[in-house]
Structure 1
Amino acid sequence: MSLRVGIIGLGVGERHIAGYQTHPDCRVEALCDFSPQRLAAVGARHPGMRLTLDADDIVNDPAIDIVSIASWDDAHARQATQAVRQGKHVFVEKPLCLTVRELAAIRGAVAESPAVHLASNFVLRSCPRFQELKKRVSAGALGNIYYMEADYNYGRIHKITGGWRAGLDFYSVFLGGAVHMVDLLLWMTGKRVAEVSAMGNRIATAGTPFQHNDLAVALLRFDDDSVAKVAANFACVSPHFHRLALYGTTGTYENFPEEGRLTTSREPGAGWEPLRQAYPGAGKSAQVAWFVEQILHKNHAVLQRHQDSVFEATAVCLAVEQAMGLRDRITVHYD
């Protein structure tokens, strides 16, 4: 079995190339970007690939098996839906989409194409430290987790005040950033969100071209009544960091840049067990390589679970956006 790939969007999309090239049975055939300058520059760094300014050239090409989507956020849904309907596997950067209607359209297209698989670049699943933590959680080291805190501290204010995000009619820091933390919690615990409430502000970027919330904070109630606070803090004065704290009935975990720390005692001075696995420890192409591996080995059940988790995390984030607009608790709708 051989897989041929087309990549749309050559910002972070250029970093997808390495993930596909890890497999001798997978070849990147075509690259697309609407910027002629960027397209030419990336093409020069990766000779032998067909170059196009039109995403439809890739989506509609019968010779392409996988479409990798790393375009601007507002193009993801249309390109993903069209690619699935053309019978292609889809690997899409987050967010998968920006509206409930778009999510329904993608789900509908996937349901009509059972041989097609869809994945999103949830890179924190490739982090060695979080993989170790997931093993501990699954083994019951923390007991029943009843409260979680997960903050996506972006620390790159220039990317929203001066980059392409500032020019979109709508940009969501929650869908574009905190979705990583939502997915991490769902993947780590296996829990399902029942309802959300949320609020946000744009105090830190007032007076800049960015016209959307740069901070979004949500409370998630899970179906077992456990609770999580999840934040997207794009303008924070700090390095990029994934803050995570899990509170269970028999243990607590906290993530720090230098190490994770786990304790199973309430006694003063009991100390913490360090988890020193690499963090983040994986690049943007790690999940790309994983996706290709699953397709080549026909691990359909694994791919289906991942696909379902993409839809679930997206649905939660869309409910958060709705709750911020209404300033009310919102029931999460998955179908």
Structure 2
Amino acid sequence: MVLAAPEFVEAELVEMFRQIEVAAELQHRVFADGVMRGQKCTKADARHEVSPEEIYGYIVGRQVTWPGRFAQRAVRRHMSPIRNAVSAESIVAQRNTPQFLEDRLMRLAKPRIDIGFPTNDVQPLLAFWQGQIGLPFDHLLPIRKGQKQHRHDLLGSVLKINELVEPIPDRPRSGYRELLIAREGLPSSQTMTDPEGNRVTLVPKGTFGIARIGIRLAVRDLAAHRRFYIEALGLPEGPRAGEAATFLAGDTVLLVEQAADAPSDAGMEGKGWRYITFQVFEVDREHAHVLQHGGREARAPVTLGTTARISMVRDPDGNWIELSQRASITGSLAVKT
């Protein structure tokens, strides 16, 4: 998922020699109107699937983890004629066709992810996040009767502390395990937990490639989540971070690692980190695409007054993901048909 910010160019190779079909993402210049989705890889051989990220690494010299010698041979054997025959200019021209835009792009309105959690006791949390972590308070947003959202600036992302009147049930925590915040000049990482046990680590800028924030996610099946983040959400895969795979949402780094204690059916209710948010231009379109590519529906798109149109989807472990079409960012809540 390449977001609408001046860091990337997106393009696609749509015909591969013999049995390989890939989508190759070129990310050196910007297109402000959207992002290119990762494409489902096809089998080059029964022994291995060559992914778009692996092909992409071969094309532009990106550092990726190669899965084996067969994949390297397959890419070298098949990419030479394609690379010679297809120019970057022709790829860009194809990308700008209406059908390509309709089929392949997820247009995001903000190049980073937000994160949120609920609470019944907001004051100690405000003291921690504003005082100890140093996040600026932005504003208080009424969500519905019995729920107010305390929004904090998180280096361009938003920390959403949802104050609830109704008691929060005691449920297992979600797969979202940790928020990482980059700090310029910090000599070493500092891990803390807030008054309700939410883990946060301040890290030197550049740790795991984090320039602003990172989010650590524990999952039961790393391969299944890799498919979900590439195919349903269109996130490009970054370099490995130890045992974790990384996925890049603009300048937010998602660190996804397999864990035996990851939930099998994470819920929205309960304490702790509960959901992340992508700001998009067209909620209904993106919601439908996620469902078509392996995501589960949690809440169908709905308009919240004049503030936003939102929906909720779930990843393979049931972790909740909000898609938000926010009027203050997009300028419109209209549903396009």
Q: What's the TM-score, normalizing by structure 2? A: 0.31
| Greater relative CO, 1 or 2 (CA 8 Å, sep 6+) | 1
Q: What's the TM-score, normalizing by structure 1? A: 0.31
More strand by share: 2
